[in-house]
Amino acid sequence: MSLYRKFLAGAFGACLASGSAVAFVAAQAEPVPGQAAAMIAAETQIQMAPVQPSAQPAAPAAVALPSAVAVPAPAPAPAPRAQPAVEAEDDGSQVSEAELACLTRVILYEAGAESRSGQLAVAQVVLNRARSGRFPRTICGVINQRGQFASIRSFNAPGGARWERAEDIAEAALEGERAPGIGSALFFHAAHVRPFSGRTRVARLGNHIFYR
Reported as a single tens digit per residue, the pLDDT across 110-152 is 999 999 999 999 999 999 999 999 999 999 999 999 989 988 9
What is the pLDDT averaged over residues 60-79?
52
- Rounded to whole angstroms, the Cα distance separating 121 from 127 reads 10
Write the DSSP symbol of residue 67: P
- pLDDT tens string 162-193: 999 999 999 999 999 999 999 999 999 999 99
Answer with the residue of higher pLDDT: 56 or 87: 56
The maximal CA–CA distance of the chain, rounded, in angstroms, is: 197
Q: Residue 77: its pLDDT value, please? A: 53
pLDDT above 90 coverage of the chain, percent: 50
Q: Residue 94: its pLDDT value, please? A: 74
Answer with the residue of higher pLDDT: 74 or 192: 192
Answer with the residue of higher pLDDT: 73 or 2: 73
- Grouping H, G, I as helix, E, B as strand and the rest as coil, residue 20 is helix
Q: Residue 55: its pLDDT value, please? A: 53
CATH number assigned to the domain covering 85-211: 1.10.10.2520
Number of neighbours of residue 157 by Cβ within 10 angstroms = 16
C-alpha closest to that of 84 among 101, 105, 108:
101
C-alpha closest to that of 143 among 122, 162, 159, 113:
122
- Rounded to whole angstroms, the Cα distance separating 157 from 63 reads 79
Number of neighbours of residue 103 by Cβ within 10 angstroms = 26
- pLDDT tens string 13-56: 443 344 444 333 333 444 444 444 444 444 444 444 454 555 55
202 CB-near residues (< 8 Å, 6+ apart): 181, 182, 183, 185, 210, 211, 212
Is the pLDDT confidence value at 4 over 90?
Answer: no
Domain layout of the chain by residue ranges: 85-211
Q: Residue 142: its pLDDT value, please? A: 96
- Rounded to whole angstroms, the Cα distance separating 21 from 65 reads 93
Please compute Rg for the chain using Cα positions.
Answer: 64
Answer with the residue of higher pLDDT: 21 or 196: 196
In this structure, are residues 115 and 164 in contact, taking their beta carbons and an 8 Å threshold? Answer: no
Answer with the residue of higher pLDDT: 2 or 186: 186
